[in-house]
Amino acid sequence: MQKKTLAMVQTDLRRLEAKELPLPSIGHDDALLRIEACGICGSDYEQFEGVLRTPMPVVPGHEPLGTIAEIGDGAAKRWGVDVGDRVAVETMIACHHCSTCRDGRYHLCPTRRIYSYIPLKDSPGLWGGYAQFMYLDPHSILHRVDPSLPAHLAVMFNPLGAGFRWGVEIPETRPGDRVVIMGPGQRGLACLLACLEVGARQVIVTGLEADEKKLGLAREFGAHATIDVENENPGRRIQELTDGHGADVVIDVSSYATEPVAQALDVTAPGGRIVLAGTKGFKPIPDFVSDKVVLKEISIRGAIGVTSSGYANAIRMLESGHTPIERMHTHRFDLRDAELAIQTLAREIEGEESIHSCLIPE
């Protein structure tokens, strides 16, 4: 087996360098993953830019899919996998012993670590998916994935997992529900697919004029209607489309924009549920009228990250082959082109519109 791996290392803000790093020796309880694909997340851009605080140098990439290259006996027994098995890796490394973890909220564990945010200097350094190989900590959670799926599709377990947790699990979306999804990016589209999968009666997706292509894809995926919020009045349109009932579930996955949060209060039906999953750069929300929450008994829940049930539902849906999700895959890049991949996602490359993209090491 080779002794070194190629990894893309973030050495400064907006700077990724290709480096040869030594492969660690694997013990009884850990493993080494050979990366097949690593999804590019919106937060990867924020890490690249420094909007999200990041240690440096660091190997980014927290949406890895790969095969087990080496594994200790203890880890093989605990995870039920062996060399050659294909797995999806969860982003969070939690302690699994504190009261938060024991309550089932391990993604909020106060001592959790997140792949791609652990510095290179913390041995063995290979904590991110922008590499040929990644270290698997003993506290990792893995999911087996059918090896016959193409890697660029299998790696969508991550956004689709968010679709199930944010779109279905948290708001308890049921058959017959009317759903509004604010923001047509990969997470919004994944929420759409998850809501349709559980039998939502009506799903409406909103976006900007520049999101025309994504809104078109939403309609292809089965959205009952889409709304361009810059050229239409979303409040009025949602009332019309739902026959004056409003939405049972509203999911905000738009980033930075504050209007969708205030608007959600108007379009939510009495007793409805709102999920806030898009971050706003810590801006306060103008026009947030809490009386609307009181009078309609609206439930508002935040959503950050994905837990095992969301990933499991996503992988089951991908393996079933009956999801059109592959149509939102727009770009795949070689590992060495990680900078280009991030810039493409951030619309910094003229003429390129990315929805789902990933790195595939050669």
Q: Which residues, 6+ apart, have CB-to-CB distance to 178 below 8 Å?
A: 200, 201, 202, 203, 204, 242, 245, 246, 247, 248, 249, 269
Residue 306 near residue 91, CB atoms below 8 Å = yes
Facing residues of 228 across strands? 207
- Beta carbon nearer to Zn ion, 55 or 84: 55
Rg for the chain (alpha carbons), in Å? 21
Which one of 103-111, 127-135, 224-232, 283-291 is the stretch in contact with Zn ion (CB under 5 A)? 103-111
**Among 76, 95, 208, 262, which residue interacts with Zn ion (rule: CB under 5 A)?**
95
Please tell me the chain's helix, strand, coil percentages from 3-state DSSP, rounded to the nearest 5: 30, 25, 40
- Is residue 241 a contact point for Zn ion (CB under 5 A)? no
Which one of 27-35, 101-109, 246-254, 315-323 is the stretch in contact with Zn ion (CB under 5 A)? 101-109
CA 318 to chain centre: 15
Helices (DSSP H) in 80-200: which residue ranges? 99-102, 151-154, 157-164, 186-197
- Is residue 109 a contact point for Zn ion (CB under 5 A)? yes
Which among 50, 19, 14 is positioned nearest to 128, based on CA atoms?
19
- Beta carbon nearer to Zn ion, 43 or 354: 43
Residue 358, token pair as written in the block? 């990933």
Which one of 30-38, 109-117, 210-218, 302-310 is the stretch in contact with Zn ion (CB under 5 A)? 109-117
CA distances from 178 to 76, 173, 300 (A): 44, 9, 16
Question: CB of residue 336 vs Zn ion: minimum separation in angstroms?
Answer: 21
**Among 6, 56, 98, 262, which residue interacts with Zn ion (rule: CB under 5 A)?**
98
Question: CB of residue 88 vs Zn ion: minimum separation in angstroms?
Answer: 13
Question: CB of residue 306 vs Zn ion: minimum separation in angstroms?
Answer: 9
Within positions 152 to 191, which residues make up the interface with Zn ion, using CB under 5 A?
A: none
Which one of 108-116, 127-135, 258-266, 269-277 is the stretch in contact with Zn ion (CB under 5 A)? 108-116
- Half-sphere CA count of 202, side-chain side, radius 13 A: 16
- Is residue 345 a contact point for Zn ion (CB under 5 A)? no
- Beta carbon nearer to Zn ion, 99 or 148: 99
Binding mask 27-66 for Zn ion (x = CB under 5 A): --------------x-x-----------------------
- Is residue 114 a contact point for Zn ion (CB under 5 A)? no
- Beta carbon nearer to Zn ion, 101 or 126: 101
**Among 32, 69, 101, 338, which residue interacts with Zn ion (rule: CB under 5 A)?**
101
Which one of 19-27, 90-98, 181-189, 301-309 is the stretch in contact with Zn ion (CB under 5 A)? 90-98
Buried b (16+ CB within 10 A) or exposed e, 62-75: bbbbbbbbbbbeeb
Binding mask 247-286 for Zn ion (x = CB under 5 A): ----------------------------------------
How many residues line the site for Zn ion (CB under 5 A)? Answer: 7
Which among 100, 103, 101, 131 is positioned nearest to 115, based on CA atoms?
131
Residue 227 near residue 237, CB atoms below 8 Å = yes
Binding site for Zn ion (CB under 5 A): 41, 43, 94-95, 98, 101, 109
